[in-house]
Amino acid sequence: MKSTLKLALGLASAIFASTAVSNVAHAEDLTLCWAAWDPANALVELSKDFTKETGIGMKFEFVPWTNYADRFLNELNSHGKLCDLIIGDSQWIGGAAENGHYVKLNDFFDKEKISMDDFVPATVVGYSEWPKNTPNYWALPAMGDVVGWTYRKDWFSRPELQKEFKDKYGWDLAAPTTFDQLKQIAEFFQKRQIDGKTVYGASIYTERGSEGITMGAMDVLYSYGFQYENPKKPYEMEGFVNSEKSVKGLEFYKALYDCCTPPGSSNAYMGEGVDAFKSGQVAMHMNFAFTWPGLQKDENVGGDKIGYFVNPKGPDGDQFAQLGGQGISVVSYSDKQESALKYIKWFANKDVQAKWWSLGGYSCLNSVVKDPKFPSSQPYAQAFLDSMAIVKDFWAEPSYAPLLQASQKRFHDYVVAGQGSAKEALDGLVKDWTQVFQDDGKM
């Protein structure tokens, strides 16, 4: 009887102790918030090493891209404690810094000897700094990303298509280096029968709800000469946003949409682009580089069938690409900032960054991307490197949301709905953006 009692007491104690231990461990878990996409899965895999090293568990809150901004900006604005770490979009940095959502990392970087000089400069400016081009850091560059293009290398290399193309346009069918070439290729493939199936020229961004059409149109406009403001006088936009060159760029984007996209492409963004390319509908596909590892592995269109190219040049030879990607920040409302900073320190490590790239994440660390083996490490590595060297980003002002909504409306109204002219759209955009900056007291 006595031994039975002892056994029962022992069991009860063991259960109590294990529960208590697991609760303690649970209390130390960090929650990392990000978008639900392929790199997030790679990060889950990578973070297992962090848990092994530190004993700190990792939980993840991933939200689809279409709701990502709404969900997490609401969380930050309401001072929620859901996220200890957040990989927030590059354009949020101004608002997050000025509204106190992110912990400033300068002292931490100094203490841990993490130098921003070790990261690709464009990613430091794009993902970490606010105000831009000042040494005030609110995030560690986490996921480099940029808009680039994929194309069907197998179609491009067919002798009969090459011959027909050369006869028609007078140059060899290959990855385009200018936007004019890109349009010619897109026209060539539009509604062409390939292997008994109707295919189309190109998939481009046209999404209205979040940021799609702005990312796509800007990707073209930059290389045509679009500038956000007078470089000598901040917030002066007249003649820069709506310059003649910008008008030509927007007209080109509309022409590309009208001539060469698959039917029903009026609301396409990253997911729709990937679907169009994977299903063999399009010859070329505009998308962020994060989609490339997945496409490379695809049985139907990946491997030797796919090629990658940098955003082409504009009429004057200018060449830029829309920056994507994000930095990782510590949320200032988190009760576990110390553990969250440990994660940042671990993530900045060279070996961790090398593994991050090998798992499908895009490292921003110089030692990884400048490694001589890097360009040959993946078929898309060189295109990624070249693209990251020419990036430009959308406004990262605290008022980025109304600025983005204005461009979404103006671009969609003109490009997709065909309302008004490119000049009217860009004049309207200057008016909208001026109003936003006036409301902010910046003009």
Partner 1 sequence: MLNRTADNVARATPEPLAKRIRGISDKGLAWLFISPTILLLLAINIFPLFWAIYLSFTNYRANRPNEVVKNLGLANYQRILGDHDIWIAMQTTAHFVFWTILLQTVIGFTLAWLIDRKFRGHAFWTTIILVPMMLSPAVVGNFWRFLYEPQIGLFSYVISFVTGIPPTNVQMLSNVELAPWAIIIVDTWMWTPYVMLICLAGLRSIPEYIYEAAEVDRASNWRQFWSITLPMALPFIMLAVLFRGIENFKMFDMVNLLTGGGPGSTTEVASITLKRQAFESWRTGYSSAFAIILFVAVFGLANIYVKALNKVKQR
Chain residues that interact with partner 1, rule: CB under 8 A? 70, 73-74, 77, 79, 95, 98-100, 198, 208-209, 262-267, 398, 401-402, 404-405, 409, 412-414, 416-419, 439
Shortest spacing between CB 214 and partner 1, in angstroms: 12
Of the two residues 50 and 411, which places its CB atom closer to partner 1 in the complex? 411
Residues ≥6 apart with Cβ < 8 Å to 142? 87, 127, 325, 326, 327, 328, 347, 364
Of the two residues 278 and 412, which places its CB atom closer to partner 1 in the complex? 412
Sheet with 282-288, side-by-side order of all strands: 192-194, 197-203, 282-288, 147-152, 306-309
Measure Cα distances from 210 to 70, 248, 257, 269 in Å: 9, 24, 19, 9
Of the two residues 45 and 70, which places its CB atom closer to partner 1 in the complex? 70
- Cβ atoms 292, 308 nearer than 8 A: yes
- What's the half-sphere exposure (Cβ side, CA atoms, 13 Å) at 218? 24
Of the two residues 88 and 262, which places its CB atom closer to partner 1 in the complex? 262
User: Which residues sit opposite 72 in a β-bridge?
Assistant: none
Shortest spacing between CB 293 and partner 1, in angstroms: 27
Of the two residues 67 and 366, which places its CB atom closer to partner 1 in the complex? 67
Please, is 418 exposed, middle or buried when counting C-beta atoms within 10 Å of its C-beta (0-12, 13-18, 19+)?
exposed
Shortest spacing between CB 400 and partner 1, in angstroms: 10
Least Cα distance to 432 among 401, 386, 396 occurs for 401
Shortest spacing between CB 300 and partner 1, in angstroms: 17
CA atoms of 289 and 231, how far apart (whole Å)? 29
Shortest spacing between CB 437 and partner 1, in angstroms: 14
Report long-range pairs for 45-48 (Cβ below 8 Å, ≥24 apart): 45/359, 46/352, 46/355, 46/356, 46/359, 46/361, 47/343
Shortest spacing between CB 79 and partner 1, in angstroms: 8
Of the two residues 130 and 384, which places its CB atom closer to partner 1 in the complex? 130
Of the two residues 156 and 414, which places its CB atom closer to partner 1 in the complex? 414
Of the two residues 73 and 443, which places its CB atom closer to partner 1 in the complex? 73
Measure Cα distances from 146 to 87, 123, 216, 260, 385 in Å: 16, 10, 11, 23, 10
Q: What value does the CA radius of gyration of the chain take, rounded to a whole number of Å? A: 24
Shortest spacing between CB 93 and partner 1, in angstroms: 14
CA 244: distance to chain centroid?
Answer: 28
CA atoms of 395 and 389, how far apart (whole Å)? 19
Q: Which amino acid is at 74?
A: N
Q: Which amino acid is at 435?
A: Q
- Cβ atoms 262, 200 nearer than 8 A: yes
Shortest spacing between CB 399 and partner 1, in angstroms: 8
Shortest spacing between CB 202 and partner 1, in angstroms: 16
Shortest spacing between CB 189 and partner 1, in angstroms: 15
Of the two residues 266 and 377, which places its CB atom closer to partner 1 in the complex? 266
Of the two residues 300 and 435, which places its CB atom closer to partner 1 in the complex? 435
Name the 3-class secondary structure at 119.
Answer: strand
Shortest spacing between CB 435 and partner 1, in angstroms: 9
Of the two residues 288 and 414, which places its CB atom closer to partner 1 in the complex? 414
Pairing state between β 147-152 and 306-309: antiparallel
Q: Which amino acid is at 40?
A: A
CA atoms of 66 and 406, how far apart (whole Å)? 18
Residue appearing with tokens 């990782």:
328
